[in-house]
Structure 1
Amino acid sequence: MAQAQRAFIFDMDGTIVDNMAFHTKSWLAFFERRGRALDADAFFRDTAGRQGHEIMRLYMGDHLTKEASAELDAEKEALYRELYGPHLETVPGFDQLIATAQADGVALAVATAAPNDNIVFTLDGLDLRKHFKAVVGAADVARGKPNPDVFLLAAERCGVAPEHCIVFEDAPLGVEAARRAGMRAVVLTTTLPAEAFAEFDNVICVARDFSELNIAELFAAEIN
């Protein structure tokens, strides 16, 4: 079988599933337990796409050991899964888009800042893992978004050059990571309005959900 020459790389949280409000709620509840009130909008802007341990150190201090951070991460993510579990479903149009992409020979990958437990919760909970040639998470790279590591590793595992990959994202830090990886990006406005992405020159399309997207048009837009 010929190696795929094109790939779609999907962020998971806020992109495959519309769950970022639940992540934010769980973070706010986590910090509220510790007597700290945070602004939800500012917190999302500063953290979406970052790994859990990066967020912990950002808000709780660089003194945190790796072990202490891991314990706190586990508490927060368990709270998130409890809140979001009853609502777990894909964003409209996702299942049809990936079916069409696979039929067209497009390699599919997930590149997320999520820990493995959340990847299992989402991808296996929705029986999606079988569709992806690569699944890259927080445990696979040292740095979260806006660093490009997670997208570059996904492309490498798919055997597709970065310039032939299109990233699907819902957060500015993720779009910036795609830009640094040399990849074009499709923005879903599940979490933020289109205006939040106006500064990025690698955005080729903005959509409410996957049902608005046309694969041929996306790859045509990728080529200047």
Structure 2
Amino acid sequence: MKPSLIFDMDGVLVDNTPYQARAFQLLFRDLGLTTNARQLLRRLNGMPATDILKTVFRNPVPEKKLKEYASQREFLYRTLYWTKRRAMPGLLPFLEAARAAGFKIGLGTGSAPETITYIIDHLDLRRYFDVVVGKDDVDKGKPHADTFTAVATKLGAKPENCIVFEDAVLGEQAAYKAGMRVVAVASSLKEKDFQAPLAVIKDFTGFTPERLLELLEQQAQAPKPDKQRAQRQYMHL
């Protein structure tokens, strides 16, 4: 049986993390915060924006206010990224080859529906995905396993037969919690930042479904989540 493929969106389908970081940095400047957005996203990228924002305030902030800040950040991000939207190099040939080979393909992201539309519909990518799961479809986003578990359920796939493409440490840990294996996309992190992926790719150039099947034979089952890594990554949550 062919594995089912689950893709994160930001940093995987598109190389947009620098624009996400810039939007956060502009928001922080407006709020009088000195948090370094790039360093923050190195730890917490993949989580919903409201959850990321919770970590930068010394005192609790009402959920309504966090949503307002997240909306402001989203506006800044879309403005910065409007003319820059491009599929990750090699992505389209890989998706086309995977579809032709009969792989089931799902999208699992912490983004809201309008943000998903902003990327995948603008780039005409939705046609490649059998299932799309976003922030509104699960109770708990990454680093919890819910997003990837929901995609697998909708695909009718067993977790042990799912391969997740992730660019974030929290996303990798979420996949392992779901019992899935990972291909790391190092669009913003380095190879050493990841725990135990099947492979680390900069983008999809030259990557093929056949190569993925070869990698699966080298890792019989999903690694267990790294408790020390988890503690270090989530210590402010």
Q: TM-score, normalised by structure 1?
A: 0.92
CA distance in 2, matches of 1:222, 1:74: 40
Partner of residue 219, structure 1: 213
Amino acid at match of 2:77: Y
Aligned residues: 218
Distance 1:97 1:64, change over 3 A: same
* More off after superposition, 167-176 vs 65-74: 65-74
Look up the match of 1:161: 158
Give the aligned residue type for 2:115: N
| Cα shift at 1:169 | 0.9
Cα drift, residue 194 of structure 1: 0.8
Code of the aligned partner of 1:126? L
Deviations 1:43-96 (CA, angstroms, capped at 9, x unpaired):
112220111121122223673333322222111101101101110010111000
- CA distance, structure 2, for counterparts of residue 116 and residue 70 of structure 1: 15
Alpha-carbon separation, structure 1, partners of 2:59 and 2:129: 35
Hey, what's the Cα distance between the residues in 2 that align with 1:137 and 1:222? 27
Q: CA deviation at 1:6?
A: 2.6
1:5–1:217 distance in 2 versus 1, CA, 3 Å: closer
RMSD: 1.6
Identity fraction in percent: 33
Q: Which residue of 1 aligns with 2:202?
A: 208
The amino acid of 1:32's aligned partner reads R
Matched, 1:54 2:48: no
Q: Any idea what SS the aligned residue of 1:86 has?
A: coil
Q: Which one of the candidate residues 98, 102, 118 is aligned to 1:101?
A: 98
Shift of 1:127: 1.1
> Structure 1 residues 212 and 196 mapped into 2: Cα distance closer, same or farther (>3 Å)?
farther
SS of aligned partner of 1:168:
strand
Structure 2: how far apart are the matches of 1:103 and 1:44? Answer: 35
Give the CA deviation at 1:40: 3.5
Structure 1: which amino acid aligns with 2:199? C
Correspondence 1:113 to 2:110: yes
Residue equivalent to 2:233: none
What amino acid is aligned across from residue 16 of structure 1 in structure 2? L
Structure 1 counterpart of 2:71, one-letter code? A
Aligned pair 1:40/2:34, yes or no? no
Using structure 2 for the length normalisation, give the TM-score.
Answer: 0.87
What letter is aligned with 1:216?
Answer: E
Q: 2:136 aligns with which of 134, 139, 153?
A: 139
Structure 1 stretches of 5 or more lacking a match? Answer: none
Is the 8 Å Cα contact of residues 42 and 189 (structure 2) preserved in structure 1?
Answer: no
C-alpha distance in structure 2 between counterparts of 1:196 and 1:222, whole Å: 21
CA deviation string 1:173-204 (max 9, x = no partner) = 1111111111111111111111111xx23x10
Given that residues 8 and 108 in structure 2 are in contact (C-alpha distance below 8 angstroms), is that contact kept between their aligned partners in structure 1? Answer: yes
Structure 1 residue identity aligned to 2:212: L
CA contact (8 A) 1:123 1:129 kept: yes
Unaligned runs of 5+ in 2: 221-237
Q: Determine the C-alpha separation between the residues in 2 that align with 1:222 and 1:64.
A: 44
